[in-house]
Amino acid sequence: MAGLSQLEIERYQQQGYVIPEFSLGTEVVSKLRDTVDRMISNNPDIRPEHLVNAHISKANAEGVQGADEILELARHPGILDQVESVLGPDIVLWGCQVFCKPAGDGMEVPWHQDGHYWPIRPLATCTVWLAIDDSVIENGCLRVMPGSHQQQTLFDHHHDDRQHLTLSQAVDQKQQQEFEAADIELSAGQMSLHDVYLIHGSNRNTSTRRRAGLAIRYMPGSSLFQRDLIEPSDASGFKVDFSQRPLWLLRGEDKTGSNDFTVGHG
């Protein structure tokens, strides 16, 4: 297996994230950029930071028209090798989101932990955040609070009613002050992996360069995706409805024996 090195695995465990040596080639990235451009024009009423279900091309509960090419990418053996190094051999794909911040008015993503919003028990997910464009400080790259995952705790979040936010919930000030932020600067084709408990966010994009990224969400086969645990809602700032969310077992087996891999595939 050509997964993470021992050093990268240790970094992921200690810091809650890692930027692997592995990256995608320019041809793959260029095709992905075309796919994302098409998705943006197919979803004219949805902010490009809110393209959930980017991997689902048919009608779905969240009303985003995704693309089969994204699903294909989520199955990329090289990416799965990285994920296997931190999640183990049983890998379930449960979500993909394009976060595209247009030049000039790209939205801020407030500091948050994803675990608040996801119906997964035990709570576990590795997100692969893949840079579709170069993602740097200037255009609002992903930012993390290294080590904030270590207590495996979901800190309190409050409603953030500032305008122009991708998410209307933010982790409380106390945690924002406790940890020191790190910017994850990536060239297109590079990726970072982060843990479900890691506090992360990103600044607005007021630059002249677009910043698009694809977040691919994988959980281990030892976790259960409980679709009825979280009611459909738009409380976080955009519509979230897990009731018909499909799952794909990409490697190994469903150790819970209870995940439903038929829902949402009809």
Ligand X SMILES: O=C(O)CCC(=O)C(=O)O
Q: Which residues bind ligand X (CB under 6 A)?
A: 99, 109, 114, 127, 129, 142, 200, 202, 213, 215
Q: Which is nearer to ligand X, 92 or 215 (CB)?
A: 215
- The residue among 56 and 142 lying less far from ligand X, judged by its C-beta, is 142
* Closest separation in Å from C-beta 44 to ligand X: 21
Report, in Å, the least distance between residue 211 CB and ligand X.
8
Please, which residue, 101 or 251, has the CB nearer to ligand X?
101
Read off the amino acid at residue 39. M
For the CB of residue 68, give the shortest distance to ligand X in the complex, in Å: 21
Minimum separation from the CB atom of position 253 to ligand X (A): 27
Q: For residues 47 and 200, which CB has a smaller minimum distance to ligand X in the complex?
A: 200
